[in-house]
Amino acid sequence: MRKILTIALALTMCAGASMAQLTDTVGLYADAALTNCTLNPTSFGLVTVYVVHDSDAGRVAKFKVNDNLGLTPTGTSVTPGFLSIGTYAAGIEIAYPNCMTGKFVIGTMGYFYQLETMTCARNSQVVPHPGSEHPGFVIVVDCGAPFGSIENAIGGRLWGGSDAELCGGCFESAVSTQESTWGGIKALYR
């Protein structure tokens, strides 16, 4: 019994530590107010998607954008004064001129909308950079002294259609879980 409790405590502490690192997000928004992750234009023309880092204190983001919106791209940009290596489609690293906090735009992606039907199947997602130092994670560098540390972040989605919650939400959950009973957990260690 003592062994089981020790293992359970160790797993809880590890899970808590990994969840604490997943505080930053890199998301995609359809509005300049940075509140809407649903793209549902009502008229023919150009649309802008905002690439946003929400951070308690960050200076670099490294990620890729899988674009399945099915719209005609018109161009991409990085916020003036920020430095970038790569492209959103192949993988990009964006460095900020100083330590940044809160929710801020790090770049944009432009599209031409021609009255296509927008559904949940049409979406763009922030995913791990192919050369990520932490495979399987979008990563950011915090403002810790002297050079910061690499941390995992949560990538966001931009959905086509009218309701992001029906499609799956703006961000994936930080830790996937499944329901279990105490008897089921004990059975794993017998």
pLDDT tens-digit profile of 117-136? Answer: 888 888 999 999 999 888 89
Angstrom distance (rounded) from CA 121 to CA 22: 27
Position 188 scores a pLDDT of: 59
Token reading at 142: 């915090």
Closest CA to 140 of 55, 78, 64: 55
More confidently predicted of 142 and 43: 142
Pick the CATH number of 23-174 from 2.40.50.140, 3.40.50.970, 2.60.40.680, 3.90.1150.10: 2.60.40.680
Structural element, H or E, at residue 5: helix 2-21
CA distances from 122 to 31, 79, 140, 158, 180 (A): 17, 26, 27, 9, 34
Residue 46 has pLDDT above 90, yes or no: yes
Q: Which residues pair with 49 in a beta bridge?
A: 109
- Reported as a single tens digit per residue, the pLDDT across 85-110 is 999 999 999 999 999 999 999 999 99
Percentage, residues of the chain above pLDDT 70: 78
- Reported as a single tens digit per residue, the pLDDT across 142-160 is 987 667 789 999 999 999 8
Domain ranges of the chain: 1-21+176-190, 23-174
**What is residue 74's three-state secondary structure?**
strand
Give the mean pLDDT of the chain: 81
Q: Which residues pair with 86 in a beta bridge?
A: 92
Residue 167 has pLDDT above 90, yes or no: no
**What is residue 115's three-state secondary structure?**
coil
Residue 53 has pLDDT above 90, yes or no: yes
